Structure 1
Amino acid sequence: MGDQKKILIVDDDNRNIFALRAVLKARGYDCLSAAGAEEGLEILAANGEIGVVLMDMMMPGMDGYQAIAKMKQNPELRHLPVIAVTAQAMMGDRERCLDAGAVGYVSKPINVEILTELLSQHIK
């Protein structure tokens, strides 16, 4: 998996980043992380090796919905798959994330099997 694209984890909670990195690394994925949407967008602008973004939707400052909107405005990032990761699992939240431009949705606590299946569909 040496030539595999990287996963960018964008989450304002370091515990979530730590847990996701550990699980994904154990499954052979290479991960980068950002503690907020602004930092995530900076990493995306500087790193062309990212193949998918795991985006926390509820963050202070710029939230995941705003970050996805900014990505969709950028021709270089427009087609990069974003999987929404959120603690919100209320009726309509999945649809709201998909309508915002996410290609998939997982709720916290994350079901690793569902996440792995989504990643296999969207990372080359």
Structure 2
Amino acid sequence: MSRILLIDDDARTRDLVTAILQAGGYTVSVAPDGESGINAALGAPGPDLIVTDLNMRGTNGWDVVRRLRAEPECENLPILALSAYTTAQDRDEAFDAGVSAYENKPVDRERLLAKVDELLR
């Protein structure tokens, strides 16, 4: 069973996305902010995939992705940005930071599970 780390500072979003991913058969751990997300990603056992919000207080999602990509154990780890930012510029900045894929909020269950499945292949 694949392990997914969810990083989001909004408790309702964490609960919703966790429920969707668990129903999809995944093991989910959560981090309520960027710093704890980075620590969890670098801990053992590491996740098979990270799903992160971009707009978080403190260490934002862009910084999370950049810092993780600088770590050898995370340079090829799939990272999915899940964000309310919807412009092409927002997407471009996320990909420039190093995300593997980008999905908009509000969360669409089927689209999220399809993207996670694709990234874990």
* TM-score, normalised with respect to structure 1: 0.91
Q: How does 1:46-57 map to 2 (within 5 A)?
A: 46-57=43-54
- Unmatched runs of 5 consecutive residues or more in structure 2: none
Verify the 8 A CA contact 2:65 2:98 in the aligned structure 1: yes
The list of structure 1 runs, each at least 4 consecutive aligned residues, that deviate by more than 6 angstroms after superposition, is: none
Seq. identity, %? 28
Greater percentage in helix? 2
* TM-score, normalised with respect to structure 2: 0.93
Q: How many angstroms does 1:49 deviate by?
A: 4.1
Verify the 8 A CA contact 2:40 2:46 in the aligned structure 1: no
Deviations 1:20-59 (A, max 9, x none): 1111111111100000010011111213341100010010
Q: How does 1:41-80 map to 2 (within 5 A)?
A: 41-80=38-77
Deviates more, 1:105-114 or 1:52-61: 105-114
Q: Distance in 1 between matches of 2:70 and 2:36?
A: 17
Structure-1 residue corresponding to 2:81: 84
Alignment equivalent of 1:99, drawn from 96, 104, 111: 96
Alignment equivalent of 1:25, drawn from 22, 26, 30: 22
Verify the 8 A CA contact 2:7 2:52 in the aligned structure 1: yes
- The number of residues matched between the two structures is 121
Say whether 1:39 aligns with 2:36.
Answer: yes
- State the superposition RMSD in angstroms: 1.2
Structure-1 residue corresponding to 2:117: 120
AA in 2 matched with 1:59: M
